[in-house]
Structure 1
Amino acid sequence: MEEEPVGDDREYQAIIPGLPDDLALRCLARISHGYHGLLECISRKWRDAIRSMDYAHMKARHERCGNWLFVSTADGKGQWDAYDPDADRWHPLPTVPTDCDESFCGFSCVSVCKKFLVIGGCYLYNKRSLAINDVILFDPFKKQWKRAANMQTARTDFACAVISNKVYVAGGGNSSCTKGLSSVEVYDPCADRWEDLPPMPFTLIECFSISYGGQFHVLGKREYNIQQDTYLIFNPVNQHWCIMEDLQLFCKLTHNYTTIQNGNIYTILEEGSIKKVDMDQKVWCTLGEFPAVVLPKHMRSLKPFTFGFVAFQQYLYVIGGMTLKYNLDTLSYGIVKLNSNRFCDMRKLPLEWKDARPMPIRSGRILGCAVMEE
């Protein structure tokens, strides 16, 4: 460990001896953010440099945001943790600015223009929900949260997607519109402004998006407690909505277990297979099986649920969740919370699952999961 100079000897010390400080900062910027905690332990000079605004501005100027996988869990009480795949390390993000300590869910989260956004959602008060229109933004360069412009309509459980560096939201519900919303908005992160778009032909609740091909694809329900989804497509160029009658290809998709990478749609079906859609042939191709949970001193593998599923670069990640374990002593089932972090290379078939560094805590239900790539 480097000894810290004292007294007048601390007037100046190069970040890296023999290099100008601006060049030293550029060298440090090439090191993945997952190692920053270790780098700050090298010396006070390195700690101050990595936490400085000069360092943040330099990283932003060269767009070296790093690769991030953001995860929020039901047990985290609004806390977000970030996984760095390059360093194979987790680290907690600063506390999200909020005026409420109640349970929070129903939000959407996306990355756009090197920023991570948590949009809308609802707080739960005594089994009643209060939908909000808040937008909270995380800056990976400054490693700080701040508030962005609010949506024009409070909403929860809505469709959300990034298209051409803009964020589109549609549908969902709030306490004022119990039958759902038809309203649609788009957010420009450069101008920090929301604008209304032509509404959907009808209200949709419990929505999600599988957007690809430069269009906003929305799946949702017209009423609560119904099984059949409705499928709409919005074209941002002519701002026209189209109702898709053929749901056969997408009828089994679910919000939490569907992810998109490089225009390809990946999903986990109920029976446990992982599939990829072939848009040319309009069919699903089986890639492999979902990784089962193996617990110590338990005779059989178990099926997880409420986990996070996301594509990151050429990999598929399955994170956290829960499983049911049968206890022979009490002759009853109990919930086991998981902190596992497993991945596979989607290009190599059949899929071969590997273990990455587990989450810092056993997660329970994953509420939000999104990636940011440099």
Structure 2
Amino acid sequence: MSSREKRRKRKREPSPESNPTPVSKPTPASTPQWSSPIPSLPYDLVLLCVARVSRLYYPTLSLVSKSFRSLVSSPELYKTRSLFGFTESCLYVCFTKDLWYTLCRKPDKTLKSGSSGYALARVPVPNSPSSVFRKVVAVGSNIYNIAMPTFLSVLPRVSILDCKSHSWIEAPSLPVELHSFSASVVDHKIYVAGFDHRLMKNSFEVFDTQTRVWDSFSSDKREERIKEKSVSIDGKFHVVTNEGVLAYDPKQGKWDMVVGGMCGLMCSDDYCVIGNVLYSVYEGVFKWYDTERRTWRDLQGLVGLPNITRRREFIRLGDYGGKMVVFWVHVIWTYYKKIWCAEISLERRPDTSEIWGKVEWFDQLRKININFQVEKVLSTTL
């Protein structure tokens, strides 16, 4: 073989460099499950940064992109917030027509002079059940709604609003056919007292939010007619009856009649319990119930709070991390009205045994249809 033929043969033979071993592509299992909302930063770092941000800003963050919207509702985010101690009280407002809103902060660049910076953001909760003031309670990060049945021989349906993902979860229905009842929370358990119109007797049920099991909690045959008013004070379940207020002690398993006029200012739905104290509003005057003196007393201070005596049936009070929030309305046009809110810090002064309120801020939060009103204000921990 000539030297020229040898050179042509070497050209035809492939070299190892010309035919490299193909590199295997990453399998889907090796790719990260979550993509970072900020591509230049790792997902875990973004997760930790967002966990440090107050949840008041989450409605605004959810508008940035789909990735941020998924992040602020992800279970990993709330596990991180809980692990590092970033949990906080979050305020939810239930309107008629089954609409839900949450208190949020506006971006600083959009604030006007004199604005508090707060607003109400619509919570995208599809297929919300009908909610009534006396039948909606909050436990931890969940809101429990016991819907009043619209037909006879139908058990009241129980739904749980997961405030992390803003989705409804079905729970076991109330085992008794009640059409007149109220609910309150004692030690993470929901106590329900009502009147069974079919059997013409009182009914007392308790729902364990951990096991999600219903059980009867009272063997006493109380003859007092139960009304749709109840609160939780001093670890006891207080129920308004036609003869006064009954208090059930879960630890001792017995009822006691509460002496005094506690039920005097619980006629409407403008009352709530904050820091183990019952507060109410009567003709624009804020009051609290002194369990030692067994009488209602005026809440002192409140300098700068606007006059809210008009349309007092639309006043709603709520516990917001130990502070009081007050919602009220002002009708402005034929079809709309303004929703106003005030946040009030509370201080008990031991020298005078009085409670003083300091107005932190008040502002108009939203305009709504004239037919809507605030049903209940609830605080969750997230």
Both proteins in one fold, TM over 0.5: yes
Tell me the equivalent position of 1:235: 249
Q: Counterpart amino acid of 1:144?
A: S
Kept after mapping to 1: 8 A contact 2:289/2:297: yes
Q: Does 1:272 align with 2:284?
A: yes
Of structures 1 and 2, the larger Rg is shown by 2
Secondary structure in structure 1 of the residue aligned to 2:68:
helix
CA distance in 2, matches of 1:44, 1:104: 30
Match of 2:298 in 1: 286
Q: Write the distance in 2 (CA, Å) between the matches of 1:148 and 1:60.
A: 25
Cα deviation for residue 193 of structure 1 reads: 1.0
Residues 309 and 316 in structure 1, CA contact (< 8 A), matched pair in contact too = yes
Query: Structure 1 residues 362, 283: CA separation in 2 closer, same or farther (over 3 Å shift)?
Result: same
User: By percentage of residues, which structure has more helix?
Assistant: 2
- Evaluate the alpha carbon distance shift between residue 267 and residue 49 of structure 1 in structure 2; reply closer, same or farther with a 3 A threshold: closer
What CA deviation, in whole Å up to 9, does each residue of 1:15-61 have, x standing for no partner? Answer: 45675422321221222333223323444543443344543554566
Moved more, 231-240 or 341-350: 341-350
- Which of 132, 143, 165 is the equivalent residue of 2:188? 165
- 2:46 aligned partner: 24
> Do the aligned partners of 1:234 and 1:241 also contact (CA within 8 Å) in 2?
yes
Conservation of the 8 A alpha-carbon contact between 1:306 and 1:365: yes
- Tell me whether 37-46 or 53-62 shows the greater mean CA deviation: 53-62
1:89-168 alignment, distance < 5 Å:
89-97=119-127, 105=132, 107-123=134-150, 132-168=155-191
Distance between the aligned counterparts of 2:271 and 2:90, measured in 1? 19
Alignment-derived partner of residue 236 in structure 2: 215
Name the aligned partner's letter for residue 125 of structure 2: T
SS at match of 1:198: coil
SS at match of 1:206: strand
CA distance in 2, matches of 1:96, 1:153: 27
Query: Which shifted more, 45-54 or 187-196?
Result: 45-54
Counterpart of 2:325?
A: 317
Distance 1:162 1:64, change over 3 A: farther
Residue 260 of structure 1: how far off its partner (Å): 0.9
Q: In the alignment, which residue of structure 1 is the partner of 2:366? A: 359
Evaluate the alpha carbon distance shift between residue 368 and residue 153 of structure 1 in structure 2; reply closer, same or farther with a 3 A threshold: farther
Partner of 2:14: none
Q: 2:15 maps to which residue?
A: none
C-alpha distance 120-61 of structure 1, shift in aligned 2 (>3 A): farther
State the one-letter code of the partner of 1:268. Answer: V
**Would the alpha carbon gap of residues 370 and 52 (structure 1) be closer, same or farther in structure 2, given more than 3 Å must change?**
closer
The DSSP-based 3-state class of the residue aligned with 1:29 is helix
Between the aligned partners of 2:63 and 2:51, the Cα distance in structure 1 is 16
Query: Number of residues paired by the alignment?
Result: 329
Structure 2 length-normalised TM: 0.72
Superposed CA offset, 1:75-122 (max 9, x none): xx1122222479733222233546x8xx76465111113211112324
Query: Which deviates further from its counterpart, 193-202 or 32-41?
Result: 32-41
1:241-280 equivalences under 5 Å are 241-244=255-258, 246-269=259-282, 271-280=283-292
CA RMSD between the two structures:
3.6
Aligned identity (percent) is: 19
Map Cα deviations across residues 201-257 of structure 1 (whole Å, 9 max, x no partner): 125343212321111111133xxxxxxx4311111012112233x333443333512
Contact (CA 8 Å) 1:65, 1:140: kept in 2 or not? no
**C-alpha separation between the residues in 2 aligned to 1:337 and 1:88?**
18
- Scaled by the length of structure 1, the TM-score of the pair is 0.73
- Distance in 2 separating the partners of 1:343 and 1:233: 30
Aligned equivalents of 1:58 and 1:46: distance in 2? 16
Aligned to 1:7: none
